[in-house]
């Protein structure tokens, strides 16, 4: 059983989906958890929900890609043992069909946002701590161009940072595939079911993942001190199909 007693964990994008479930599991493992989100109502709601099971939790409303806001938070909370970033979005369209601005923004949101966070936060991580980022699996260059480039860039960054920051800090990533989380909150009813059904057809295990299955990968990477520079695919086999 994972034991994160006396560990302080920062989860960027922790007010919904994978981040919220990871926070819940970390609290059950006796960690102290701080979640960051941009939506004040969602952050407050999440903290209230998490406090029903544990008191070692706090929430902050800010844009983690804003260096000034992030530095204020780091000054307030001091050192962390583990920092998890859930930042990054999705897109559709290939290199020809998608507008360049959309491709560029997707790469910005997936890669450069996380690089900005990594450069600001690594000095605030305790010895033998870790940073964990979120990549992604599924999709193809022809139908998710900017997202694919962004995911590959995150994994390249993880490999580089793992060497640069060793042996003090471990750096890894988790790559989930399509999962019914808040990322898809704009899809309604039949559209959501149709999207899910299309993904199931592509996944060898013939189902989409549960949020907890992905969250457990983040817990594993915090707990296992001999894993660094790796991307763990929690994708039902879609990446090898």
Q: What is the pLDDT of residues 144-159, one digit of tens each?
A: 999 999 999 999 999 9
pLDDT at 181: 67
Whether 152 and 114 have beta carbons less than 8 Å apart is answered as no
DSSP three-state, residue 36: strand
End-to-end, the C-alpha distance of the chain in Å comes to: 32
Q: What would the two tokens of residue 191 be?
A: 């559209």
pLDDT at 187: 52
- The angle, 0 to 180 degrees and rounded to 10, between the axes of the packed helices 211-223 and 17-28 is 50
Q: What would the two tokens of residue 200 be?
A: 């199931």
pLDDT at 241: 81
Beta bridge partners of 173: 133, 231
Q: What would the two tokens of residue 72 be?
A: 């204020």
| pLDDT tens by residue, the chain, 241 residues | 789 999 999 999 999 999 999 999 999 999 999 999 999 999 999 999 999 877 799 999 999 999 899 999 999 999 999 999 999 888 889 999 999 999 999 999 999 999 999 999 999 999 999 999 999 998 889 989 999 999 999 999 999 999 999 999 999 999 999 887 655 555 555 666 776 778 888 899 999 899 999 999 999 999 999 999 999 999 999 999 8
Whether 148 and 140 have beta carbons less than 8 Å apart is answered as yes
For 101, residues 6+ apart whose C-beta sits below 8 A from its C-beta are none
Whether 178 and 196 have beta carbons less than 8 Å apart is answered as yes
Q: What would the two tokens of residue 23 be?
A: 């926070």
What is the CATH T-level fold of the domain 8-235, as seen in this structure?
Rossmann fold (3.40.50)
pLDDT at 34: 97
pLDDT at 186: 54
pLDDT at 52: 83
pLDDT at 2: 86
pLDDT at 196: 73
pLDDT at 68: 92
62: Cα within 13 Å, side-chain hemisphere:
20
* CA 140 centroid distance within chain: 20
CA angle, 211 then 212 then 214, to 5°: 70
pLDDT at 138: 86
Whether 114 and 88 have beta carbons less than 8 Å apart is answered as yes
What global pTM score does this model have? 0.93
Beta bridge partners of 83: 10, 131
């Amino acid at each position: 059983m994972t034991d994160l007693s006396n560990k302080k964990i920062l989860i960027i994008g922790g007010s919904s989906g994978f981040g919220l479930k990871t926070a819940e599991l970390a609290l059950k493992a006796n960690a102290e958890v701080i979640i960051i989100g941009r939506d004040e109502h969602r952050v407050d709601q999440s903290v209230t929900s998490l406090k029903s099971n544990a008191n070692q939790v706090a929430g902050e409303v800010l844009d983690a890609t804003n260096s000034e806001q992030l530095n204020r938070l780091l000054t307030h909370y001091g050192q962390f043992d583990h920092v998890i970033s859930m930042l990054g979005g999705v897109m559709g369209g290939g290199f020809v069909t998608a507008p360049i601005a959309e491709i560029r923004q997707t790469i910005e949101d997936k890669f450069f946002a996380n690089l900005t966070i990594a450069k600001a936060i690594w000095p605030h991580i305790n010895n033998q701590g870790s940073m964990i980022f979120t990549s992604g699996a599924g999709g193809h260059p022809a139908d998710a161009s900017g997202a694919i480039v962004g995911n590959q860039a995150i994994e390249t960054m993880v490999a580089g940072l793992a060497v640069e920051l060793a042996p003090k800090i471990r750096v890894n990533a988790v790559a989930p595939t399509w999962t019914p989380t808040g990322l898809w909150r704009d899809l309604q009813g039949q559209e959501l079911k149709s999207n899910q059904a299309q993904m199931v057809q592509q996944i060898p295990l013939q189902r989409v993942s549960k949020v907890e299955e992905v969250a457990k990968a983040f817990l594993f990477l915090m707990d296992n001190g001999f894993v660094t520079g790796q991307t763990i695919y929690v994708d039902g086999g879609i990446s090898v199909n």
